[in-house]
Amino acid sequence: MSKLITVNYDGKPRYDIVIESDFSKLAESVKKLGIKNRRLAVITDSNVGAIYADEVKKCLEQTENNVFVYTFEAGEKNKNLDTVQNVYEFLIENKFDRKDMLVALGGGVVGDLTGFAAATYLRGVKFIQIPTSLLAQVDSSIGGKTGVDFRAYKNMVGAFHQPELVYMNISALKSLSRRQFNSGLGEILKHGLIKDALYFEWLRDNSDKIAALDVQVLEEMIYRSCEIKRAVVENDPTEKGERALLNFGHTLGHAIEKQKNFELYHGECVVLGMIAALRICVERGMISEEEFSDICSAFRTYDFPVNTDGITVDSVIAASKNDKKMDAGRVKFILLKKIGEAYIDMTVDDDTMRRALETVVTE
């Protein structure tokens, strides 16, 4: 059991995504990168580090002598420049030079932050992603978007910096909380809706096995989602066009996330954002009422909330305009022509957004 995907960049093979059910092939995968006698800094957070840092360090020590571990406190609140500075200090104290390498072991917070530290330390060093959350495995570890939050602004400071390798151990998902696991499923359901209607059906039909963490079904799911993400980022590595399709559900989802003060998880907000966007698709005759309620019942199968209260529609609209997903002052919306085919739409006005949001926000 294992799968491999190669991600191309500028038409050439750039890095591999290795999907395994343990860490036993990690040393071999790292060795293939051709590094020798280099220092490796495993950057992780307090939750993931407590469970996996020792095991990963031991695996890396099969081929490398100088493996260091730096741990910061888990949580989005630490995805900031202060933590990046602490990482720089750690690297300087341990004499890391330009040929040494960072290893991100954790969810999207660790991956984004470590990638950014790697992009900027000594004007750029190499790094490896070992994503451990479902969201990181199918989404944030692929494509080279790195960065941190700045003051109240999410992902405001960052860089594109491609990893040398993405190594994922599916069994690591077993220690992830159920709610975090489900949050990652929000992005996975999104992949089906924007790119592959048959995949969306498959996800609906296999919900029991996915919820039971059946490793074979998880492997198939993660592989198919990584393939979708690979194809999109290969076509548009720096988000000038097609990559924006991955933001389906995110324009309003991010705004809801902010208004709810991050009490709902990212994937849960993306699902609410997708429902609102799908309402616009119904209004424009691209999705039928029947398809809409089928999709909502698939979301319910995965325990996603399909509405939320305690916030106002107008505050969500206002927050959506402060988001980066704007183009010349207009909100950039991702809509579906049909299930499995997304496009960028710049014509969604406030009244349309208001009607759509009334489906998911009960004031």
Interface with ligand NAD (CB under 6 A): 45, 47-48, 51, 74, 76, 79, 106-110, 112, 132-133, 135-136, 139-140, 143, 145, 155, 172-173, 175-176, 180, 183, 266
* 128 vs 135, beta carbon nearer ligand NAD: 135
Minimum distance from residue 137 beta carbon to ligand NAD (Å):
9
CB 49 to ligand NAD: min, Å: 9
Q: Quick one: 38 or 254, whose CB is closer to ligand NAD?
A: 254
CA-based radius of gyration for the chain: 20
DSSP string, 30-71: HHTTT--S-EEEEEEEHHHIIIIIHHHHHHHTTT-SEEEEEE
Choose between 60 and 115: whose C-beta lies nearer to ligand NAD.
Answer: 115
Residue 12 pairs in a beta bridge with: 9
Query: 65 to each of 39, 68, 114, 228, 291, how far by Cα in Å?
Result: 8, 10, 21, 37, 56
The total of other beta-carbon atoms located within 10 Å of residue 324's CB is 11
- Comparing CB distances to ligand NAD, the nearer of 29 and 180 is 180
User: Do residues 158 and 108 make contact, with C-beta atoms less than 8 angstroms apart?
Assistant: no
Q: Which is nearer to ligand NAD, 191 or 266 (CB)?
A: 266
SS (H, E, C) 211-241: HCCCHHHHHHHHHHHHHHHHHHHHHCCCCCC
* Cα torsion angle, 357, 303, 152, 150, sign: negative
Give me the residue whose beta carbon is nearest to ligand NAD. Answer: 108
Q: Shortest gap between Cβ of 216 and ligand NAD (angstroms)?
A: 19
Backbone angles phi, psi at 305, to 5 degrees: -65, 140
In whole angstroms, the minimum distance from the beta carbon of 222 to ligand NAD comes to: 13
State the number of CA atoms in the 13 A half-sphere of 92 facing the CB: 9
The nearer residue to ligand NAD, 16 or 268, going by C-beta atoms, is 268
Q: Pick the closer one to ligand NAD by CB: 183 or 308.
A: 183
Q: Which is nearer to ligand NAD, 143 or 273 (CB)?
A: 143
- How many other β-carbons are positioned within 10 Å of the β-carbon of residue 282? 17
Question: Measured from the CB of residue 252, what is the shortest distance to ligand NAD in angstroms?
Answer: 16
Minimum CB distance to ligand NAD smaller for 1 or for 50: 50
**What is the nearest approach in angstroms of ligand NAD to the Cβ of residue 325?**
13
How many residues are given for the chain?
A: 363
Identify which of 75, 87, 90 has the alpha carbon closest to the alpha carbon of residue 117. Answer: 87
Distance, CA of 335 to CA of 278 (rounded, Å): 7
How many other C-beta atoms can be found within 10 angstroms of the C-beta atom of residue 102? 27
**337-to-273, 282, 324, 340, 341 alpha-carbon distances in Å:** 17, 10, 24, 8, 6
- Short-list 183, 226, 220, 184, CA closest to 205: 220
Give me the least distance between CB of 18 and ligand NAD, in Å please. Answer: 17
Nearest approach, Cβ of residue 141 and ligand NAD (Å): 8
Tell me how far, at minimum, the Cβ of 283 lies from ligand NAD, in Å: 28
* Closer Cβ to ligand NAD, 21 or 155, answer by number: 155
Min. distance of Cβ 346 from ligand NAD in angstroms? 23
